[in-house]
Structure 1
Amino acid sequence: MTPRLDAIGLIVADMAASLAFYRKLGLDVPAEADSRPHAEATLPGGMRVLWDTEESVASFDPGWTRPQAGERLGLAFLCDSPAEVDATYSTLITAGYESHLKPWDAVWGQRYAVVLDPDGCGVSLFANAT
């Protein structure tokens, strides 16, 4: 059997804060997951997103340390239209999340924006220009 990508894992400092951010992007994570050390959401098509607290990871990997600079992973959310990129960006910024790049019309033919999740990871919002 050939290995297949099944899940994307995120290590988070504050589970509830991280899950609140990703719920605003439409991921379905039960409320009781806010207080657990591990959470999962299954996306359409079967891919999963996994969250583990820093404490949980350190419990089985004592040598793990939080990255000090730079992003190691980027998630990108496809929106239905350029207007949805702008609306989603606005919703997240209004909710108090930090902007990294305001929406713009990228030279590669997409409307694009980047918002930072609670752990400082850039989350791209994009749609094909119409």
Structure 2
Amino acid sequence: MSRMIFVNLPVADLAASMAFYEALGFENNPHFTDATAACMVCSEAINVMLLTHAKWRTFTNRPIPPTTSSEVMLALSCDSREAVDAMNEAAATKGGTADINPPQDLGFMYSRALADPDGHVWEAMWMDPAAIPSNDSTD
């Protein structure tokens, strides 16, 4: 069986967060969605569980960080540079914040960081493995 990841995120407004992730291309799985939580499917292996603050507190008593802090940046691969740009633009139009860090363009890799409405940080990235510089030295 292949492994799956479920990223659990506390959210202040469940409906707004669902709309945000739908704008990024995630799909709702109604089997794991109710008034307190929503499962947003990114791929066969990646799911994001959006949890109201009350639901979040049933799993941990650790404090929910303010929207201005970061604990983790979740990098998500995209099929093209244009898809990276589209994800960033969708974030900005659906209550998130685009380009919370400067875009990075290394030629073989391109990324832009965004934040969802609750400040959770995502990095949309594209990479061309064929263009990765070689570390081989010919001394």
Give the alignment's TM-score, normalised by structure 1.
0.74
Does the aligned pair in 1 maintain the 2:20–2:116 contact within 8 Å? yes
Does the aligned pair in 2 maintain the 1:76–1:124 contact within 8 Å? yes
Q: List aligned pairs for 1:50-129, cutoff 5 A.
A: 50-59=49-58, 61=60, 63-68=61-66, 70-99=69-98, 100-106=100-106, 109-129=108-128
**After superposition, what is the alpha-carbon deviation per residue over 1:79-101, rounded to whole angstroms, capped at 9, x for unaligned?**
11112212322232244421202
Q: How many Å separate the matches in 1 of 2:101 and 2:15? A: 24
Does the aligned pair in 2 maintain the 1:114–1:125 contact within 8 Å? yes
% of aligned pairs identical?
Answer: 28
State the SS of the aligned residue for 2:122. Answer: strand
Q: Where do 5+ consecutive residues of structure 2 fail to align? A: 132-139
Structure 1 counterpart of 2:35, one-letter code? R
Corresponding residue of 2:137: none
State the SS of the aligned residue for 2:17. Answer: helix
Distance 1:105 1:98, change over 3 A: same
User: Shift of the alpha carbon at 1:76?
Assistant: 2.0
Q: List aligned pairs for 1:20-59, cutoff 5 A.
A: 20-29=19-28, 33=33, 36-59=35-58
Q: Where do 5+ consecutive residues of structure 1 fail to align? A: none
Q: How many Å separate the matches in 2 of 1:94 and 1:52? A: 22
User: Shift of the alpha carbon at 1:49?
Assistant: 2.0
Give the alignment's TM-score, normalised by structure 2.
0.70
